[in-house]
Structure 1
Amino acid sequence: MKKIKIAHVLHSVGGVDVSLRQILHNLDTVNFESIVIHGDSDIKDEFVDKDSKPVVHYQLPIYREISFFNDLTAILKAWKIIRKENPDFIHSHSTKGGVIGRIVGFMTGTKILHTPQAFSFLSAETKTKKTFFLKVEKILSKGETILLASSQSELKRAINEVGFPKTKTNLFNNSIEPIEKILDLSIPKTWPDEYLCTVGRPCYQKNIEELIVVLHELNKTVDVHLVILGVGHHADHLKQVENLIAELNLKNKVTLLNWTTREDVLNIISKSKLYLSTARYEGLPYSIIESLALSIPSVVSDCDGNRDLILNDYNGYCVKENNTIEFSQKINTLLQDEKLYNEFSKNARATFEKHHNIYKTIKDLESIYREELK
């Protein structure tokens, strides 16, 4: 029986990189073959499959920023690769991977599965930019593209706002392998043993400024330290965050860490009392999935992605955006109530096992791959 050949196209950094590697590590190699087309400045770790064999990969000038020259070059090079490799379909991931993958799919007549991992128009800080990015998404949704959402919220937005017909949508929740071993930190530990944490670069999406204000409110009644991971990549709000920390006299209450290894991230989440997110939007955030797998309750903003993972009064709390007082109160509730904390901790792990353990969910993705080729 001929293997189904999939070309993954993406800017392989952050959660998008985690997503692809988890798929490659678990996809059946007897019936499926993968190649990877990714950015030349992406994470340098080798892509390997379920049998620990290297996956064929190609590097292109795929970058986050819009550049006519780089984007056109990437499209033309990807077009040549797709013609050479002749995959059964392209699976594009995230915004830039989606633009390049869907254009090349149209040029070569190759079927497309596209996973946004949060639509581009959600990142727009102005109405003009949002209108433009949404228009692009609407144009690219036409033709033979199948939307493969990473969460129910993303699926609903694809249908209700972007205009995908329901018949051209499907769902595969982001999933990871169970975390069975926590490695020692590869970086010096400079923060207290008791702390809360979040993973996300200071930017519009992650809304770290709001989290700093929450921390300030919280420290009026309890002594709390916050560790923020992932400062190094595309941290265009870093200066604002640093200024706010200084203004609120929180320099001794916040640790800012540059991007580090996933093993370090897991180590820090595993020892954190709670996981926090004040993001404005997400796809389906891997850091929260990891916290669930590690039995860590969360307090998060009620946005796409977050609300798909955290259920009020079950494994944490979802709080309306920028409701500083309620957010700090929910954190304090879990810090003070040990019985409730332990219940939420147990439920966090149960949520992971039921919905986001890739050892179980990979069969769903394999079924989707097969179904879309019929």
Structure 2
Amino acid sequence: MAKLKIVHLAHSIGGVDVYLRLIIENMSVDSFDNCVIHGLKDTSEPFLDKKGNAVRQYSVAIFRDINVINDSKALFQTYQILKKEKPDLIHAHSAKGGIIGKVMARLLGIRILYTPHAFSYLSTQNSIKRSLFLSIEKFIFRQKVVLLATSTSEKDRALNEVGYAATTIKVFNNCIEPITTIAPLTIPKTWPEAYICTVGRPSYQKNIEQMIRVLHEVKKEARIHLIVMGVGPVSGQLASVKDLIKELGLDQNVTLLDWTQRTDVFNIIKYSKFYISTARYEGMPYAIIESLALAKPCVVSNCDGNKDLIVDNYNGFIINNEDLADFKNKIVSLLSDKELLDKMSNNALISYSENYNIKKNIAALETIYLG
């Protein structure tokens, strides 16, 4: 039987890049032929299949921001590649990949799956931009697309806010490989032994300012250090975060780390007390899945993605409405109650093993691809 040829179209950074690599590395090479089209500045690392062989990849002018010249180039370049590759299926990822993929699918008559990885309209508090981004999601060839959500929350938004029909939505939860070894750090360790951690660039989405305020309240009752991993070039609120750290006198209580190797992230999570997220929205956050796989409870805001992964009072705590006092109280309770921490740590690992192991789950995605 001929292999199903899939072209993945994405702005391949952050969680999208992790998603792509994990699914391509775990899919059957006997049944599927994968190819990746990504942005010019996304990644220089090859995408490897299950046998460790590099799959075909192309770079085109896909960038995060809307730009008529770049977006026109990306459409033209993608058209040429698709005419050459002649795929059976386009799997388009995130907003920009979704727009280009939908246009190409309509133009060339190719079947398409679209994964938002958190809808674009959630990324802004500006009502005009939010309305514009939601309108784009609603009206750019939605009718001919099967939406492949990364979580039940994303499915619900697609159904209730964007207007997808229930019959055109499928769910494949983000999942990862078991983390069986912890490699030594490749960066200097500059933080104390007792700490909590998070992964996320200072941005509107991750709401790191709220995390700093939470830490300030925790410090009044318990000693702890916070490590924020993922400070990089796309960190629009880094200055605001640094100013708040200084204002609250937390310079010695917070470590801001640039993007580093994924093995370093695993190491830091593994030796933390637990994980924290104050995000305003997510798709299905890999860092929380990784924390569960490393037997770490999570104290998280009640947003899409977070609430799909954390069961309140089982493998962590869910905090409603950015409640500063509740965040502080739950963190202090985990820091002060070893029995509670141990119980939630055990439950965290059970949650991962039962629900988010890609080795167990990849067959479900392959079935979706085969249609």
| Letter of the 2:32 counterpart | F
- The verdict on how the C-alpha distance between 1:141 and 1:330 changes in structure 2, with shifts beyond 3 A counting, is farther
Aligned residues: 371
The aligned residue for residue 289 of structure 1 is: 289
Q: Tell me, in whole angstroms, the C-alpha distance in 1 between the residues paired with 2:321 and 2:266.
A: 26
CA contact 1:151–1:283 (8 Å) conserved in 2: yes
1:341-361 CA deviation, whole Å, 9 max, x = no partner? 111111111111111100000
The aligned residue for residue 170 of structure 2 is: 170
| Letter of the 1:348 counterpart | A
Greater shift after overlay, 355-364 or 101-110?
101-110
Cα RMSD after superposing both structures: 0.8
The aligned residue for residue 326 of structure 1 is: 326
CA contact 1:141–1:163 (8 Å) conserved in 2: no
| Equivalent residues in 2 for 1:292-311, closer than 5 Å | 292-311=292-311
Q: Tell me, in whole angstroms, the C-alpha distance in 2 between the residues paired with 1:141 and 1:176.
A: 31
CA contact 1:11–1:94 (8 Å) conserved in 2: yes
Q: Tell me, in whole angstroms, the C-alpha distance in 1 between the residues paired with 2:83 and 2:317.
A: 48
**CA displacement at 1:83 relative to structure 2:** 1.2
1:198-256 CA deviation, whole Å, 9 max, x = no partner? 00000000000000000000000111100000011310000000000000000000000
Q: Tell me, in whole angstroms, the C-alpha distance in 2 between the residues paired with 1:82 and 1:143.
A: 21
**CA displacement at 1:143 relative to structure 2:** 3.1
Q: Tell me, in whole angstroms, the C-alpha distance in 1 between the residues paired with 2:312 and 2:326.
A: 13
1:100-126 CA deviation, whole Å, 9 max, x = no partner? 111111121111101111000000121
Q: Tell me, in whole angstroms, the C-alpha distance in 2 between the residues paired with 1:42 and 1:155.
A: 27
Q: Tell me, in whole angstroms, the C-alpha distance in 2 between the residues paired with 1:25 and 1:34.
A: 10
| Letter of the 1:133 counterpart | F
| Equivalent residues in 2 for 1:15-26, closer than 5 Å | 15-26=15-26
The aligned residue for residue 67 of structure 1 is: 67
1:237-284 CA deviation, whole Å, 9 max, x = no partner? 000000000000000000000111111111111111110000000000
| Equivalent residues in 2 for 1:177-216, closer than 5 Å | 177-216=177-216
Report SS of the residue matched to 2:282. Answer: coil
The aligned residue for residue 42 of structure 2 is: 42
Q: Tell me, in whole angstroms, the C-alpha distance in 1 between the residues paired with 2:95 and 2:263.
A: 26
| Letter of the 1:223 counterpart | R
Identity %: 50
| Equivalent residues in 2 for 1:194-343, closer than 5 Å | 194-343=194-343
| Equivalent residues in 2 for 1:119-134, closer than 5 Å | 119-134=119-134
- Normalised to the residue count of structure 2, the TM-score between the two structures is 0.99
1:12 counterpart = 2:12: yes
The aligned residue for residue 144 of structure 2 is: 144
Report SS of the residue matched to 2:198. Answer: strand
CA contact 1:278–1:321 (8 Å) conserved in 2: no
CA contact 2:103–2:141 (8 Å) conserved in 1: no
Q: Tell me, in whole angstroms, the C-alpha distance in 2 between the residues paired with 1:159 and 1:106.
A: 22
| Letter of the 1:36 counterpart | V
Q: Tell me, in whole angstroms, the C-alpha distance in 1 between the residues paired with 2:182 and 2:99.
A: 37
CA contact 1:158–1:164 (8 Å) conserved in 2: yes
| Letter of the 1:326 counterpart | D
| Letter of the 1:299 counterpart | V
1:92 counterpart = 2:100: no
Q: Tell me, in whole angstroms, the C-alpha distance in 1 between the residues paired with 2:44 and 2:192.
A: 31
CA contact 2:6–2:88 (8 Å) conserved in 1: yes
Report SS of the residue matched to 1:143. Answer: helix
**CA displacement at 1:142 relative to structure 2:** 2.1
**CA displacement at 1:331 relative to structure 2:** 0.8
Structure 1 residue ranges (4+ consecutive) displaced by more than 3 angstroms after TM superposition: none
